[in-house]
Every structure is written in C-alpha cells, then in structure tokens.
Chain A
C-alpha cells in the first residue's frame, strides 16, 4: 500500500486533495509518518491492559532497578514497573487532550462563526477579548485556572481548553470574514438562502480543511500543556500513571543517575506530540496547496 492510500484510509481525506500534490509529495510522507506514530500510540494505549506486564500502581519488585529483561524500563522509587506506567500513562494524556480540544474547538468555532458573520459591536468586543487571551502566555493562564480548580481530569481539561479557545476563534473568524464576501455566498443570499444555511453549508463547509489542520496541531500543544501541568503538580492525583507527574518524581532521583525514570515517559510525550505535529504539518500542505511554494 502506497503512502497515498495509507493516508486516505487513515484520515479519510477526500482523494481530490491528494491528486493536487506537488512533484515531491513530501507532505504526504510527513502526514503518513505522523499518522503511523499515532496509530502505534493509540494501539498501545488501547492494548495497555493486555500488554503491560505489571499493574502500574502497585509495588512489584525492588525499587530503582535499572532496565532488565524482567523490568524492560526499570522500576521507580516505589518499586513500580516503569514500562507499565508508561503504557498506562497515555490514557490520561490522550483523554485530557481530547476533552480540552473538543471543548475549545466547539466554543471557539461557534463564537468565531457568530462573531465573523454578525460583524458588529459584539464582534469587536469579542475580538479584543480573544486577542487579549491569545497574547497571554497560555501555560501560565492554564496554571492559574488549574491551581484554582484543583486536580482531576475534567478540571485540567477545562484549564487547557480556556487557553486554546482564541486559537479557534481567530482562525474561524478570519476565514468567515474572507469567505462571506465571495461571489458564491452572495449568490446564495440572492437566491434567498437563510442565514443559518449560508453560515453552515456555504461558509463553514469551506473552513473545515483549515479546522482539521488546527485541530491536529492543537492536540500536540494540548498534550505538551497537559504534561507541563502534571509536571508542576497541577494534574491528577497519584498514583494514576501520568507522564508529566512521573517525570517530576523522576527529577528528584536524577542526581542518583536513575536515568530510566525520566527517559521513557519523556520519549513517549515526544512521540505523541511529534505524531500530531507531523500529521498537522502534512495535512496543512495537502489541504492548503497555495502554501506549497514555501
């Protein structure tokens, strides 16, 4: 199976986009590489209960053992299997990023559509508010919200979601503003189409490709933010396996040279984030071919 059919089967992108690819087709390989990484990670996550050799939250042997055939990634300070914790850790990371991205994209898209289409005082006020949040360091805002709301998957997701709403708002609003002046939208209006029809069937439908790209890149960011929050102790309470939290525990044992406690959870974060970044980058060049020149 070639790279194109791979991508088609994995992401459901209509074939007509793929037909427009340039001579090198590097973007298809980028997206495919990202998709493959993600499929592997998702498979590992789903299969974690079957392939993890030990229970991730109980002591299964001596503490701080280096990687061996018995403990593939060693054991942590509490004698738990690092490999099992790394496998299970994906669950929290993927859950939190999925919930937060779903939340922020929904709110951001609805507000962006409304704001761009109505274009009045509301639009101006919303835009200033969104621009202000956008300019503020996202992680610091998430830290403040997470610190106030307390630990937990839903709380952490909300904290992350608030930060990314402006990303969607700005993108959608910009697209609505440029799309609604197009001739075919005017034609639809002349034919007497209702506002809701124009907004969803004519404008929103044309924004979907850009939205897909932003979604993919945003999941990558959300996972990094989730890891950051857990690393700072604002994530979910122990002993649930979580990469960011495990890294902060591993940090206290760093001077002893116990490299395996930090190396493997960190690598997993890199792999997942890289997967979503590559997918997003690749899709961006496939779906927005005008950028190809660059």
Chain B
C-alpha cells in the first residue's frame, strides 16, 4: 500500500474520536445542563402526565448511555430523528434543505476573505515597516474587532437603504426560483441558463459575503504577512531577483506559492470561525441557511432539531479538517505517517 494511501486512511480514522467526543459533549450539554428541554418545550405549568409522555416519546427516560449509543448508531445511518414542529419531518432532510445556502455564503465569504487577506498580507510583508505595512496591519486588527452582525447592519444601511443598490435580505428575488440541482442558487441558475436568477442570486450574495469575508480577512492578513516574511528572506527569492524576474512575479509566483501551504492549513482551522460567523451573518441577512435554522429551532424549542444541527456542524468541521489535511498531504510529499 502506498504511503499516501496509508496516511489518508489513518487520517480518516483519527477523525472518528473527534466526532465521538463532540457528540458526547453535545449530548451532555443538552441533557445535564440545568434547564430541562421538555419543560422548556411544554412550559412550567404542563401537567406531569404530559411531561412524562413527552420524555418517553423523546426517549429521555432511558439511561443516558443507551440514548447515546442509539443516537450514534442512527447517526451512522444518516438519521438524526424527526423535528417536533411543522409536520415532524426528518431533521436530516431539513438540514439538507438549509445547508446549500450556508455553503453558498461560506464560499462567497471565503473568496473575499482570501482575496483581501492574501493581498494585504503579501503587500504588508513586501513593504515591511512602511506606512502600507502599518496601515494593513492596523486594518487586520481593527476589522477583526468588529462584531460581524453590526458590520452587516452598517453595510445594509449604506448599500441597501440609503443607496438602494443591493438587497438586504434573502437569497434571491422572491419571484424567481432556479430549478434545484445542487441547492446552491448561483450554480443552479447557471446550469439552467437562467441569467435573471443568476444576477439576482449574486446581488443577494454580495453584502453577506462582504460582511463575513471582510471581518475574517484580518486573520489572513496577519497569517500571509508572517509566512511571506519567512519566505522572502530565503535564497531562492534573491536568486529569482538576480535572474531579472519582475517584482510582481517574484512576489506572487515564487514567494506566495511557497507561503501558501501553512495558509492552507489555517483555512481548515478558520472554517470553524467561518461557520460561527455564518450563524450571525445569516440571522442578520435573513439568509435561510443552517445558522438561521438553528436559531429558529431554538426559538421554537425544537430540541431534537437543535441537537441535529449542532451534530451536523461537528461532523462538518471534522470532515473539513480531514479534507484539508489530505490536500496538504498531496501538496507536500514529506507529510506521511
């Protein structure tokens, strides 16, 4: 067996304990923490018989370890149980309806985050200790100190309400609906050749992506700067310059390529931040993704759905960290077990 394949298999197996631990944590949080979900759902004044019945229905009257293994086995089959409201549909189905919206938002934000972060970071490193450097570094610290939802509201106020350029809520014009293939509207509308829907989707996507992408770009400014400083000091950069290459080619082709591997690993770690930020962005822009789903179900006390959503986030984070490590292993042959 090739060493690369061995590495990949080991890496996937190592992600399992993480999922189990997170699952256990969520389980404990939702059951042991003060505050009874059944009471929260039914209200304090509900009769005891009704409370008992609800407990039984949700399986909460069984020992916790039984509940846990039961849940874990169902999870392996992709079954997260049924929600408590609106027709009690399977939670996995509801999540699959909401996740594409979150994916579209996170991809849009990631593009902005990387474009802005890598450019400012590279320039900052290249012009070290110049006003540009100080300016971009200040940008990195200040932008990260801004609450995402507040930044979103300010953008809504300026570009949506005063200037009237861009919509401030939803994913697409309510009169349009591209045929669902992936659930990601920008891709679906292109596949269907529906230019009107595509334009509307992009218009709706701009402000939320700018909000999330700009706030998180500060991290990448710093990260790119540090890694670029290391790379720019090395001999092959001097060699490239000695060969008479253009400065832009030295900076973006030679240096950035080599600074990019550590940046890539950070994208994996920052994905968790991206998801957390997406929750706040989605609620601000009425974006019907996983974050809005989670908050909506919290307001309805839909306990199984809350659990399902959080578990889904855990599996997603584990999957992304495995995926990033795999890309890393492909790019860098030194990384093997």
Contact = CB atoms under 8 A, between A and B. Distances in A.
Nearest to B299: A233
Contacts of A273: 145-147
B21 A140 contact: no
The prevalent SS among residues of B at the interface is: helix
Interface string A50-88: 000000000000000000000000000000000000000
B25 A269 contact: no
Given A143-B279, A266-B154, A251 B284 contact: yes
Given A270-B147, A277-B144, A147 B313 contact: no
B276 interface: yes
A220 interface: yes
Contact of A137 (B134, B144, B157, B275): B275
A139 B25 contact: no
B201 interface: no
A224 interface: yes
Interface string B55-75: 000000000000000000000
B141 A281 contact: yes
A147 B247 CA distance: 53
Contacts of A233: 295, 299
A198 interface: no
B317 A136 contact: yes
Given A148-B37, A149-B34, A140 B141 contact: no
The prevalent SS among residues of A at the interface is: helix
B38 to A, nearest CB: 12
A220 B147 CA distance: 11
A118 B6 CA distance: 32
Nearest to B32: A148
A139 B35 contact: no
A135 B321 contact: yes
Nearest to B307: A144
A232 interface: yes
B266 interface: no
Interface stretch (A3-11, A38-46, A173-181, A254-262): A254-262
A67 to B, nearest CB: 15
Contacts of A269: 147, 150
B29 interface: yes
B271 to A, nearest CB: 9
B199 interface: no
Contacts of A150: 34-35, 40
A162 B134 CA distance: 35
Interface string A184-217: 0000000000000000000000000000000000
Contacts of B295: 143, 232-233
A68 B65 CA distance: 61
A25 interface: no
A281 B334 CA distance: 34
A34 to B, nearest CB: 10
Contact of B298 (A139, A147, A247, A262): A147
Contacts of A255: 161, 168
A286 interface: no
Interface in B257-306: 269, 272-273, 275-277, 279-280, 283-284, 294-295, 298-299, 306
Contacts of A149: 33-35
Interface residues of A, number: 49
Contacts of B275: 137, 140
A272 to B, nearest CB: 9
B229 A294 contact: yes
Contacts of B272: 135-138
B303 to A, nearest CB: 9
B280 A231 contact: yes
Interface string A217-252: 000100010011001111000000000100100110
A150 B33 CA distance: 10
Interface string A128-145: 110111011111110111
B54 interface: no
A147 B147 contact: no
Contacts of A35: none
A278 interface: yes
B280 A140 contact: no
**Residue of B21, B147, B157, B313 with most chain A CB atoms under a 10 A cut-off:** B147
A160 B148 CA distance: 17
A274 interface: yes
**Residue of B144, B229, B269, B273 with most chain A CB atoms under a 10 A cut-off:** B144
B140 to A, nearest CB: 10
A269 B280 CA distance: 15
Nearest to B321: A135
Given A132-B21, A147-B306, A140 B150 contact: no
Given A254-B156, A255-B161, A274-B141, A148 B284 contact: no
B146 A144 contact: no
A254 B144 contact: no
B93 to A, nearest CB: 21
Interface of A: 24, 26, 128-129, 131-133, 135-141, 143-145, 147-150, 162, 220, 224, 227-228, 231-234, 244, 247, 250-251, 254-255, 257, 259, 262-263, 266, 269-270, 273-274, 277-278, 281, 294
Given A137-B273, A148-B35, 9 more contacts: A128-B18, A137-B272, A137-B275, A139-B279, A144-B26, A220-B145, A247-B147, A247-B149, A294-B226
5 contacts: A132-B22, A227-B147, A257-B162, A266-B154, A269-B150
The 9 closest A-B pairs by CB, nearest first: A266-B150, A139-B276, A137-B276, A273-B145, A132-B21, A274-B145, A137-B272, A147-B298, A137-B275
